[in-house]
Structure 1
């Protein structure tokens, strides 16, 4: 698959076919993903592929309460957060059926391999993710190349202690995201809706658009 096409059609899949994702497909995807940029080439990312039905259900049970609380805050018909009602309804279906995804990939990272440079700025620290999320996106693109869909969520990171206990994740390793994967039940999107380049790119100062 051509790279730009993959980038433009790797959306969030909410409906999965029950067909399992074969090991050789996963291996090719992880093999490509590991070349994502990482600070100092420390390679902190580790993966856990959860296929066991009981463990997937346990993850789903942890996911559902915070999702429902979030849903109650925005309302299924409320578009104030920028999400269309169908998008919210699809996300609710995903939450209700998370355990049915063929696999859930838990994205982990070794803390010693991260180097956040923004933790003393008095705001949310995000820089450590620069050594994690490019690798994760590589995984999603590599899966898309093989016809496998994905849905990235960070909501389960709120339950990290429970997830670590469930999956025997050792001290010094964090959870950074969870990626439900499988063959899409409804195909891939032909077009994703995103903000225009003209609205997101500046020149020399934040208030000066580069493109008009």
Structure 2
């Protein structure tokens, strides 16, 4: 695929056909993704290709509760687990719960995570991350810059193979259990779980905000940067 077309059409895919993904195809995807940038080229990632049905089923079961909580917080008008949320408001929303959230979690990816053709658990090695914002009095982001480009490269390389996929961080809410399940020890931490497969419907066109909505000149309150024919 053309690079620009790939970048503009790689959306999140959560519905897959039953067609399996050959190990050789996955190997090509990972062989390409490994060229993703990372701080000091440390490549501070470890990847587990989860094939065992028992392990897959356990991950599915762990996934469900955080997903219910995510849907519940969303229904309450909160951005789930935002670093600036009022903890009391979150606790109240979760205590109230919603039947709709429970019902929604009984379908879709949350209910069928164990059935996706490829299930990858991505771990980050904290000892290899240069988290330059570690000592700031705010939520730390910088360390992820050495791991998530690799995850995105997996999705792009999969797209080039005719596959689709989704990166989910939901299981981080159950990190200790996932680490025990997959044999991961400190300083490894769970960064994401990636599902891949042949999509039921391949995304051809994505909807995003135009460049002028997020880019300004010189200052955040500066003039919008020209967006051209963005769509």
Structure showing greater Rg? 2
Deviation at 1:180, TM superposition (A): 0.8
Q: Secondary structure at the match of 2:166?
A: strand
- TM (norm. structure 1) is 0.89
Aligned to 1:62: 62
Q: Alpha-carbon deviations, 1:165-186, whole Å to 9, x = none?
A: 101112221110110111112x
Tell me: CA distance 1:79–1:111, structure 2 relative to 1, closer, same or farther (3 Å).
Answer: closer
The list of structure 1 runs, each at least 4 consecutive aligned residues, that deviate by more than 6 angstroms after superposition, is 78-81
Paired residues of 1:17 and 1:184 also in contact (CA < 8 A):
yes
Alignment partners' CA distance in 2, 1:73 and 1:108: 26
Alignment partners' CA distance in 1, 2:126 and 2:78: 36
Return 5+ residue gaps in structure 2 as ranges.
Answer: 80-103
Give the number of the structure whose residues are more often strand, by fraction.
1
- TM (norm. structure 2) is 0.82
Aligned to 2:184: 169
Aligned to 1:200: 214
Q: Alpha-carbon deviations, 1:105-149, whole Å to 9, x = none?
A: 111121111110001111110100000011111111001100111
Could you tell which deviates more after superposition, 150-159 or 89-98? 89-98
Return 5+ residue gaps in structure 1 as ranges.
Answer: 82-88
Paired residues of 1:108 and 1:175 also in contact (CA < 8 A):
yes
Alignment partners' CA distance in 2, 1:210 and 1:34: 33
Alignment partners' CA distance in 2, 1:91 and 1:61: 11
Paired residues of 2:46 and 2:123 also in contact (CA < 8 A):
yes
Alignment partners' CA distance in 2, 1:79 and 1:11: 24
Alignment partners' CA distance in 2, 1:175 and 1:15: 23
Alignment partners' CA distance in 1, 2:153 and 2:69: 31
Aligned to 1:84: none
